[in-house]
Structure 1
């Protein structure tokens, strides 16, 4: 990363040229520390932007390559630009590692994470999740817990992208040639990733 930065930033380039072999800042520990510092700077900038603003919360569970469940947190706000034009801005603010998956635990994790940003929870005007009952349950889902206890103005919205995905999945099951198309694509993918020989052939083709 620093080598790439040195190709465009004269200050970074001069550091490389003038540093000794024992202080190149390329060790894994230094790299991780630099990434952590940059992340904190970005967090502070986002926290400053959302201070005193009305915004929406978007969250979704996902699993990384290591099989660990995480909760991605995104906040969204509308900015009044020049000439009465409104711009939607989204900020990905982080991933929360999950060890328990009930609605109360997820709610606590979200509240703690957002509170650390210094955001006022009563400034949230919307919550957007997929249709899973643990997130969107009317009585005991995350959206209900947050609205009852932390975000009185945070109306729940079922993610439109998730709705579209559900429609596409149902359509692909009903229309035969679409179903066959996805089956063929899936088999092609499995063929190339299941064997190191075929995968290497694909990479070099």
Structure 2
């Protein structure tokens, strides 16, 4: 009963993607001892059988609630989940998708994702593990992949596609990871990550047009100024709320689930072009509220330099070029994503990747 209860609580938290342990678990008098112990306590209050076998009613060396036990349960769940995925893959062909990044402890980690078609013909992407690598050279990554495949009983001969970004260590023609795998399996065709290709194409196009490039810079500047403090964010929400109430009263907008909800400006990300589209949409929908907040910042600003920047932003936003490019980018990005994606890839690679499900 004690073991089953601990497993039930751990599986619930893992399924929700929540942390198990807290920062103050050893302190008995702590009111927040982590999700695992708190849910376990609630469980015991509702179930007498559980209450009789945990905590003070359990042997001191068999509590099954310590941090080490929690980590072991997590590892066991991860192992069983990976086994189930590998079993579902079986002897089928699959595509290998990889990416590496540093974690908070400044360690290079390689995420491994496998794409395959199950017995029902459904194309599935399955995250099968994170592998620690000493460095990001192609040889090191290939060695880590070989060890990973050997551990889980996968064969390189079953790989029918590789999906990475465009870094030289990944797609190098002589010593890149894709070349090392192709030397071993000539059918493991490499496809450059489509999201990465699209980002490179759009960034290059923007940098080549001075008006659009300036618009993106000013848009980011407006977002940073308006969202620089909680006070400014609250002011923006209040102004937008007043605008929405007025529009609802006049019948210009209607209410429904998912429509006209409370929102705020979002900072565009450097590596996700879709975030620019979201920022443009919100800037246009909150135009009057943003200009009112900027005017408020100018009137109450204490620093002459900051007030000068705000005046410059207001002048820029009132120019025809800024408004025109905002609407142009809204239409271009919002309604032509699929067309841009096709242009960003070779037609042969596009159709091949569609057929074999090898798009990263």
Normalised by the length of structure 1, the TM-score is: 0.78
| Higher normalized contact order (CA 8 Å, seq sep 6+, divided by chain length) | 1
What is the Cα-based RMSD across aligned positions, in Å?
A: 3.1
Q: Are residues 103 and 6 of structure 1, via their aligned partners in 2, closer, same or farther at CA, if it must alter by over 3 Å?
A: same
Distance (whole Å) between structure 2 residues aligned to residue 162 and residue 184 of structure 1? 27
1:155 Cα offset (Å) = 0.5
Q: Which has the larger radius of gyration?
A: 2
Q: How many residues align?
A: 189
1:108 aligns with 2:143: yes
Unaligned runs of 5+ in 2: 1-12, 14-35, 238-360
Question: SS in structure 2 opposite 1:153?
Answer: coil
Q: Which residue of 1 aligns with 2:112?
A: 73
Structure 1 stretches lacking a partner, 5+ long: 193-197
Instruction: Give, in whole Å, the separation in 1 of the partners of 2:54 and 2:220.
Output: 56
Secondary structure of the structure 2 residue equivalent to 1:127: strand
2: CA distance, partners of 1:139 / 1:188: 49
Match for residue 158 of structure 1?
192
Name the stretch that deviates more: 23-32 or 53-62: 23-32
Counterpart residue number, 2:134: 99
Q: Find the partner of 1:118 among 146, 149, 153.
A: 153
Distance 2:203 2:226 in 1: 19
Structure with the higher strand share, 1 or 2: 1
The 1:50–1:154 alpha-carbon spacing in structure 2 relative to 1, beyond 3 Å, is same
CA distance in 1, matches of 2:37, 2:151: 33
Distance 1:188 1:62, change over 3 A: farther
SS in 1 for 2:96: strand
Structure ranking higher in helix proportion: 2
